[in-house]
Amino acid sequence: MDDFKLIIDGLYEVFYENKKSTDILNKIASKREDISYITRSIYGVIERKLYLDYIISKLSKIKIKKLDKKVLLILEVGIYNIHFLDRKNYAIVNELVNVTKKESNKSKGFVNAILRSFIRDEENLSKINIKNEYEYLSIKYSCPIWIIEYLNLSYDEDFTKKFLLSLNDKRFISIRVNNKKISKDDLKKILIKRGYKVSDSKISKLSLRITNPSKLASTNEFKAGLFTIQSEASIKVCEELNPKERSNILDLCAAPGTKTSLIGELVNNNANIIANDISFNKLSKINENIERLNLKNIEITNFDASEYIAEYKEKFDYVLCDLPCSGLGVMDRKPEIRYNRDMDGVKKLASLQKRILDRAFMYLKKGGILLYSTCTLGMYENLDNYIYLTKKKRLKNIAIDDKPYIEYTPFEDNTDGFFMTKFEKI
């Protein structure tokens, strides 16, 4: 019952207090040795919420929106365990009824009836009886309709369906090798000896893929700065920026500092780097990465990147614009994103990105390099901003892998949805 309490409280924080699932699980992990079941249940309910609520709506005379929040979570956890974890027994019902007694005693009979009814008629109740294609896909993949419509608009229906199919796929973790301290082959051998399943990245030269990453950040190799946990597309961004020693470099939206730290490694601590972020609370994370990797010549600043800084005019040889975005490309790792975004928010972010890109352009020296990237999908934040940059007369596009821009997708590249494009000021 203690596990269920942690799961339900964690889900409450995600859905009703806008907390991040990763932060919640990290907090639980600091107190528990094995949280595999808790992790699977929290992520499972988030990934399947719309489908779970659809089933509950068939069984409940009370509308979903009128149900007590904790009671709804208890039902979602119960349906998920019964249907997806194959825990088809009444013992789990009894456990969840006992949890209900502590959260809302008057609802214990209601929860008991709903879960027992589902066990008795699971085959029929689990079917989706909806003819509208978008509504059907939304419930089947627990993805809001606006995202489906937006992806169809930005790409096509085939793309959208492949993306939805890939949403809940299990993915590997990628790490960045610090080749100033160890070769990729030597690190690979060490990690394999420790029992990790390791393979080379198909995207980044500095990256390795780990399919069983449990306790990776607790290894001596991580603590010694031999590698950093970072998505391979994110690593590719810095490889393409390709900063040189004795240059001035600005990372405009740097938190949590993984790209900044890679830039520091690439220039051998021999460049002037400014790592900026608007969020003061995130600056400590940037500093943590810098200190762990023993990096130097990095100044941390805290200003709004959309505001103009006069002293930065034509000062920098490189400006990295890995900008705030909707994050639709990382919904597999951060499944709650699908519930706390909307189309209006995407358009506002696209507008903010353009303002920041305007500032970045002004900060570049002639011959300087600007690299724009996001971890999202969709035309407003990606292709439209590429086109926006091409219209600046003093910017020349530089191909990445013989393309004007790259857009990775989870279903084609088995990595985060990620966009990047590169320009030189002429």
Q: Which residues are annotated as a binding site?
A: 277, 304, 322
The phi and psi torsions of 56 (rounded to 5 degrees) equal -60, -35
* Residue type (1 letter), 190: I
Sign of the dihedral through C-alpha 153, 407, 263, 240: negative
Report the alpha-carbon angle 143-146-148, nearest 5.
60
Closest to 230 measured CA to CA, from 279, 293, 278: 293
Strands annotated E in 331-417 = 364-374, 395-398, 405-408
| Total residues belonging to the chain | 426
CB 357 within 8 A of CB 388: yes
Who contacts 325 (Cβ-Cβ below 8 Å, separation ≥6)? 349, 353, 374, 375, 376, 381
Tell me if 187 sits within 8 A of 350, measured CB to CB: no
Which single residue is written with the structure tokens 């950093």?
228
User: Is 330 exposed, middle or buried (CB count within 10 Å of its CB: 0-12, 13-18, 19+)?
Assistant: buried
User: 152 to each of 149, 156, 260, how far by Cα in Å?
Assistant: 5, 4, 35
Q: Is the dihedral of CA 87, 88, 90, 96 positive or negative?
A: positive
Known active-site residue 238: no
Q: Packing angle between helix 283-292 and helix 258-266, nearest 10 degrees?
A: 40
Tally of CA atoms within 13 A in the half-sphere of 196 that contains its CB: 25
| Tokens coding 107 | 């609802």
Name the burial class of residue 343, with classes exposed (0-12), middle (13-18) and buried (19+) by CB atoms within 10 angstroms of its CB.
middle
CA distance 231 to 306: 26
Query: Catalytic positions, please?
Result: 375
